Structure 1
Amino acid sequence: MSDAVPAKYQLILGRVLSGLVILFLLFDAGLKLVSPETAIKYSPPNLGWPLEVGTMYLLAILLLIPTLLHVWPRTSILGAILITAYLGGAIATQVRVGNPLFSHILFGVYLGVMLWGGLWLRDPRVRAMIPFRAGAAA
Protein backbone atom coordinates (compact mmCIF):
# COMPACT_ATOMS: atom_id res chain seq x y z
CA MET A 1 0.00 0.00 0.00
CA SER A 2 1.25 3.50 -0.82
CA ASP A 3 2.53 5.82 1.90
CA ALA A 4 0.27 8.51 0.43
CA VAL A 5 -2.91 6.82 1.65
CA PRO A 6 -3.06 5.40 5.18
CA ALA A 7 -4.42 1.90 5.62
CA LYS A 8 -7.84 1.73 7.25
CA TYR A 9 -6.42 0.44 10.55
CA GLN A 10 -3.85 3.29 10.56
CA LEU A 11 -6.56 5.86 10.00
CA ILE A 12 -8.73 4.43 12.78
CA LEU A 13 -5.86 4.10 15.26
CA GLY A 14 -4.63 7.59 14.35
CA ARG A 15 -8.07 9.09 14.92
CA VAL A 16 -8.44 7.27 18.25
CA LEU A 17 -5.04 8.48 19.50
CA SER A 18 -5.65 12.01 18.27
CA GLY A 19 -9.18 12.01 19.67
CA LEU A 20 -8.02 10.98 23.15
CA VAL A 21 -5.42 13.74 23.25
CA ILE A 22 -7.82 16.33 21.84
CA LEU A 23 -10.53 15.41 24.36
CA PHE A 24 -8.08 15.68 27.25
CA LEU A 25 -6.73 19.04 26.07
CA LEU A 26 -10.21 20.45 25.42
CA PHE A 27 -11.31 19.30 28.88
CA ASP A 28 -8.25 20.91 30.47
CA ALA A 29 -8.69 24.21 28.60
CA GLY A 30 -12.47 24.15 29.05
CA LEU A 31 -12.23 23.67 32.82
CA LYS A 32 -9.85 26.62 33.09
CA LEU A 33 -12.23 28.80 31.03
CA VAL A 34 -15.59 27.72 32.43
CA SER A 35 -14.62 27.22 36.08
CA PRO A 36 -11.23 28.78 36.80
CA GLU A 37 -11.94 28.58 40.54
CA THR A 38 -12.18 24.78 40.25
CA ALA A 39 -8.92 24.67 38.29
CA ILE A 40 -7.28 26.81 40.97
CA LYS A 41 -8.69 24.61 43.75
CA TYR A 42 -7.16 21.45 42.25
CA SER A 43 -3.87 22.99 41.07
CA PRO A 44 -0.82 22.07 43.12
CA PRO A 45 0.41 25.20 44.93
CA ASN A 46 4.10 24.38 44.43
CA LEU A 47 4.22 24.78 40.62
CA GLY A 48 5.10 28.46 40.82
CA TRP A 49 2.17 29.71 38.72
CA PRO A 50 -0.01 32.42 40.26
CA LEU A 51 -3.21 30.69 41.28
CA GLU A 52 -5.44 33.43 39.91
CA VAL A 53 -8.40 33.50 37.54
CA GLY A 54 -6.42 35.53 35.00
CA THR A 55 -3.65 32.92 34.92
CA MET A 56 -6.18 30.15 34.34
CA TYR A 57 -7.75 32.09 31.47
CA LEU A 58 -4.33 32.72 29.91
CA LEU A 59 -3.31 29.05 30.16
CA ALA A 60 -6.68 28.00 28.74
CA ILE A 61 -6.38 30.26 25.71
CA LEU A 62 -2.74 29.21 25.15
CA LEU A 63 -3.95 25.60 25.04
CA LEU A 64 -7.31 26.04 23.32
CA ILE A 65 -6.04 27.87 20.22
CA PRO A 66 -3.44 25.24 19.20
CA THR A 67 -5.85 22.43 20.05
CA LEU A 68 -8.47 23.91 17.73
CA LEU A 69 -5.80 24.39 15.06
CA HIS A 70 -4.89 20.72 15.47
CA VAL A 71 -8.51 19.62 15.04
CA TRP A 72 -8.78 21.26 11.62
CA PRO A 73 -6.92 19.08 9.05
CA ARG A 74 -5.43 22.02 7.12
CA THR A 75 -3.68 23.34 10.24
CA SER A 76 -3.24 20.12 12.20
CA ILE A 77 0.56 20.13 11.90
CA LEU A 78 0.81 23.74 13.09
CA GLY A 79 -1.50 22.88 15.98
CA ALA A 80 0.64 19.87 16.89
CA ILE A 81 3.79 22.02 16.89
CA LEU A 82 2.16 24.62 19.16
CA ILE A 83 0.73 21.95 21.49
CA THR A 84 4.21 20.43 21.70
CA ALA A 85 5.55 23.82 22.80
CA TYR A 86 2.82 24.08 25.46
CA LEU A 87 3.62 20.58 26.69
CA GLY A 88 7.31 21.49 26.82
CA GLY A 89 6.47 24.29 29.22
CA ALA A 90 4.42 21.91 31.35
CA ILE A 91 7.30 19.42 31.42
CA ALA A 92 9.78 22.17 32.35
CA THR A 93 7.50 23.27 35.18
CA GLN A 94 7.32 19.71 36.53
CA VAL A 95 11.12 19.31 36.30
CA ARG A 96 11.70 22.65 38.02
CA VAL A 97 9.67 21.70 41.09
CA GLY A 98 11.11 18.18 41.27
CA ASN A 99 7.94 16.17 40.74
CA PRO A 100 8.09 12.39 40.11
CA LEU A 101 9.42 11.36 36.69
CA PHE A 102 6.96 8.80 35.35
CA SER A 103 3.69 10.23 36.70
CA HIS A 104 4.27 13.98 36.39
CA ILE A 105 7.31 14.96 34.36
CA LEU A 106 6.77 12.47 31.53
CA PHE A 107 2.99 13.01 31.32
CA GLY A 108 3.53 15.75 28.74
CA VAL A 109 5.81 13.41 26.81
CA TYR A 110 3.12 10.71 26.82
CA LEU A 111 0.59 13.20 25.44
CA GLY A 112 3.07 14.43 22.84
CA VAL A 113 3.86 10.90 21.64
CA MET A 114 0.14 10.15 21.34
CA LEU A 115 -0.45 13.48 19.57
CA TRP A 116 2.31 12.99 16.98
CA GLY A 117 1.71 9.25 16.69
CA GLY A 118 -1.95 9.84 15.88
CA LEU A 119 -1.05 12.52 13.37
CA TRP A 120 1.64 10.32 11.79
CA LEU A 121 -0.81 7.44 11.39
CA ARG A 122 -3.55 9.52 9.75
CA ASP A 123 -1.66 12.19 7.79
CA PRO A 124 0.53 11.34 4.78
CA ARG A 125 2.30 14.73 5.06
CA VAL A 126 3.67 13.80 8.46
CA ARG A 127 4.70 10.33 7.27
CA ALA A 128 6.56 12.02 4.41
CA MET A 129 8.41 14.29 6.89
CA ILE A 130 9.14 11.45 9.33
CA PRO A 131 9.58 8.30 7.23
CA PHE A 132 9.97 5.27 9.49
CA ARG A 133 11.18 2.32 7.50
CA ALA A 134 11.52 -1.21 8.82
CA GLY A 135 15.05 -2.51 8.53
CA ALA A 136 16.56 0.83 7.49
CA ALA A 137 20.28 1.08 8.21
CA ALA A 138 21.54 4.09 10.14
Structure 2
Amino acid sequence: MNNSTMLWTGRVMTGLFALFMLGASIAPKLLGMPVAEETLAQLGWPAGYALTIGLIELACLALYLIPRTSVLGAVLMMSLLGGAMATQVRAESPLFSHILFSAYLGLFMWGGLWLRDPRLRQLFPAIRETAR
Protein backbone atom coordinates (compact mmCIF):
# COMPACT_ATOMS: atom_id res chain seq x y z
CA MET A 1 0.00 0.00 0.00
CA ASN A 2 1.46 3.39 -0.92
CA ASN A 3 1.76 6.25 1.55
CA SER A 4 -1.17 8.23 0.17
CA THR A 5 -3.51 5.24 0.40
CA MET A 6 -2.33 4.49 3.94
CA LEU A 7 -2.81 8.12 4.96
CA TRP A 8 -6.36 8.30 3.63
CA THR A 9 -7.31 4.90 5.01
CA GLY A 10 -6.01 6.02 8.41
CA ARG A 11 -7.95 9.27 8.18
CA VAL A 12 -11.16 7.41 7.32
CA MET A 13 -10.64 4.97 10.21
CA THR A 14 -9.90 7.88 12.56
CA GLY A 15 -13.03 9.70 11.36
CA LEU A 16 -15.19 6.61 11.85
CA PHE A 17 -13.76 6.10 15.34
CA ALA A 18 -14.39 9.75 16.22
CA LEU A 19 -17.97 9.62 14.91
CA PHE A 20 -18.65 6.45 16.85
CA MET A 21 -17.25 7.91 20.07
CA LEU A 22 -19.22 11.14 19.61
CA GLY A 23 -22.49 9.45 18.72
CA ALA A 24 -22.57 6.38 20.88
CA SER A 25 -20.55 7.30 23.91
CA ILE A 26 -19.86 10.96 24.47
CA ALA A 27 -23.08 12.61 23.23
CA PRO A 28 -25.51 10.73 25.52
CA LYS A 29 -23.37 11.55 28.54
CA LEU A 30 -22.81 15.22 27.69
CA LEU A 31 -26.45 15.78 26.75
CA GLY A 32 -27.61 14.24 30.01
CA MET A 33 -29.65 11.53 28.34
CA PRO A 34 -31.25 9.17 30.88
CA VAL A 35 -29.92 6.13 29.02
CA ALA A 36 -26.36 7.11 30.00
CA GLU A 37 -27.12 7.21 33.75
CA GLU A 38 -29.26 4.06 33.51
CA THR A 39 -26.51 2.13 31.76
CA LEU A 40 -23.88 3.26 34.25
CA ALA A 41 -26.20 2.33 37.13
CA GLN A 42 -26.66 -1.17 35.66
CA LEU A 43 -22.87 -1.50 35.58
CA GLY A 44 -22.56 -0.50 39.22
CA TRP A 45 -21.54 3.15 38.89
CA PRO A 46 -23.07 5.63 41.35
CA ALA A 47 -25.34 8.34 39.97
CA GLY A 48 -23.76 11.49 38.61
CA TYR A 49 -20.68 10.11 36.87
CA ALA A 50 -21.97 10.22 33.29
CA LEU A 51 -21.06 13.86 32.65
CA THR A 52 -17.56 13.44 34.10
CA ILE A 53 -16.88 10.33 32.04
CA GLY A 54 -18.24 12.07 28.93
CA LEU A 55 -15.92 15.05 29.46
CA ILE A 56 -12.91 12.75 29.93
CA GLU A 57 -13.83 10.86 26.74
CA LEU A 58 -14.20 14.14 24.85
CA ALA A 59 -10.80 15.37 26.08
CA CYS A 60 -9.11 12.10 25.08
CA LEU A 61 -10.78 12.20 21.67
CA ALA A 62 -9.70 15.80 21.11
CA LEU A 63 -6.10 14.90 21.96
CA TYR A 64 -6.30 11.90 19.62
CA LEU A 65 -7.56 14.04 16.73
CA ILE A 66 -4.83 16.70 17.05
CA PRO A 67 -1.78 15.43 15.12
CA ARG A 68 0.80 16.72 17.63
CA THR A 69 -0.95 15.03 20.57
CA SER A 70 -2.45 12.01 18.80
CA VAL A 71 -0.26 9.39 20.49
CA LEU A 72 -0.95 10.85 23.94
CA GLY A 73 -4.67 10.91 23.10
CA ALA A 74 -4.52 7.28 21.94
CA VAL A 75 -2.75 6.18 25.12
CA LEU A 76 -5.26 8.03 27.31
CA MET A 77 -8.21 6.75 25.28
CA MET A 78 -6.88 3.20 25.58
CA SER A 79 -6.64 3.70 29.34
CA LEU A 80 -10.26 4.81 29.37
CA LEU A 81 -11.27 1.82 27.25
CA GLY A 82 -9.37 -0.44 29.65
CA GLY A 83 -11.44 0.97 32.50
CA ALA A 84 -14.60 0.27 30.52
CA MET A 85 -13.38 -3.27 29.97
CA ALA A 86 -12.72 -3.71 33.69
CA THR A 87 -16.22 -2.44 34.45
CA GLN A 88 -17.69 -5.00 32.07
CA VAL A 89 -15.62 -7.78 33.66
CA ARG A 90 -16.80 -6.76 37.12
CA ALA A 91 -20.42 -6.73 35.90
CA GLU A 92 -19.90 -10.26 34.49
CA SER A 93 -20.96 -9.17 31.00
CA PRO A 94 -20.60 -11.45 27.95
CA LEU A 95 -16.99 -11.76 26.76
CA PHE A 96 -17.04 -11.17 23.01
CA SER A 97 -19.89 -8.65 22.75
CA HIS A 98 -19.30 -6.52 25.85
CA ILE A 99 -15.96 -7.13 27.57
CA LEU A 100 -13.82 -7.24 24.42
CA PHE A 101 -15.70 -4.42 22.66
CA SER A 102 -13.29 -1.90 24.20
CA ALA A 103 -10.36 -3.88 22.80
CA TYR A 104 -11.98 -3.89 19.35
CA LEU A 105 -12.41 -0.11 19.54
CA GLY A 106 -8.84 0.34 20.74
CA LEU A 107 -7.42 -1.76 17.91
CA PHE A 108 -9.45 0.22 15.38
CA MET A 109 -8.27 3.51 16.93
CA TRP A 110 -4.60 2.47 16.96
CA GLY A 111 -4.91 1.08 13.43
CA GLY A 112 -6.14 4.42 12.16
CA LEU A 113 -3.31 6.23 13.90
CA TRP A 114 -0.71 3.73 12.67
CA LEU A 115 -1.86 4.17 9.09
CA ARG A 116 -1.82 7.98 9.20
CA ASP A 117 1.39 8.51 11.19
CA PRO A 118 4.66 7.39 9.55
CA ARG A 119 6.56 7.86 12.82
CA LEU A 120 4.35 5.28 14.50
CA ARG A 121 4.84 2.89 11.57
CA GLN A 122 8.59 3.33 11.95
CA LEU A 123 8.37 2.62 15.66
CA PHE A 124 6.07 -0.40 15.17
CA PRO A 125 6.70 -1.80 11.68
CA ALA A 126 4.34 -4.44 10.32
CA ILE A 127 7.29 -6.44 8.97
CA ARG A 128 10.79 -6.21 10.39
CA GLU A 129 13.67 -6.48 7.98
CA THR A 130 16.24 -9.03 9.11
CA ALA A 131 19.93 -8.23 8.84
CA ARG A 132 21.83 -10.48 6.48
Question: Above 0.5 in TM-score?
Answer: yes
**Take 2:120 and 2:18, find their aligned partners in 1: how far apart are those partners?**
18
Cα distance in 2 for residues equivalent to 1:37 and 1:135: 53
1:41-61 CA-to-partner distances (Å, cap 9, x unmatched) read 4x16431111x2x31111111
Deviation at 1:71, TM superposition (A): 0.9
Unaligned runs of 5+ residues in structure 1 are none
Tell me the matched-pair count: 130
SS of residue paired to 2:49: helix
Match of 1:10 in 2: 6
Q: Which amino acid aligns with 1:55?
A: Y
Pairing 1:25–2:24 present: no
Report percent identity of matched pairs: 47
1:98 is displaced (CA, Å) by 1.2
* Structure 2: unaligned runs, 5 residues or longer: none
2:112: which partner in 1?
Answer: 118
Listed as ranges, the matches of 1:92-103 within 5 Å are 92-103=86-97
In 2, Cα distance between the equivalents of 1:72 and 1:103? Answer: 30
Question: Once superposed, which parts of structure 1, at least 4 consecutive aligned residues long, lie more than 2 Å away?
Answer: 35-38, 134-137
Contact in 2 for aligned 1:36/1:56 (Cα 8 Å): no
The match for 2:71 is: 77
- Provide the rounded CA distance (Å) in 1 between the counterparts of 2:7 and 2:104: 20
Does the alignment pair 1:34 with 2:28?
Answer: no
**42, 55, 61: which one aligns with 1:61:** 55
Q: TM-score, normalised by structure 2?
A: 0.88
> 2: distance between equivalents of 1:24 and 1:13?
16
Q: SS where residue 66 of structure 1 aligns?
A: helix
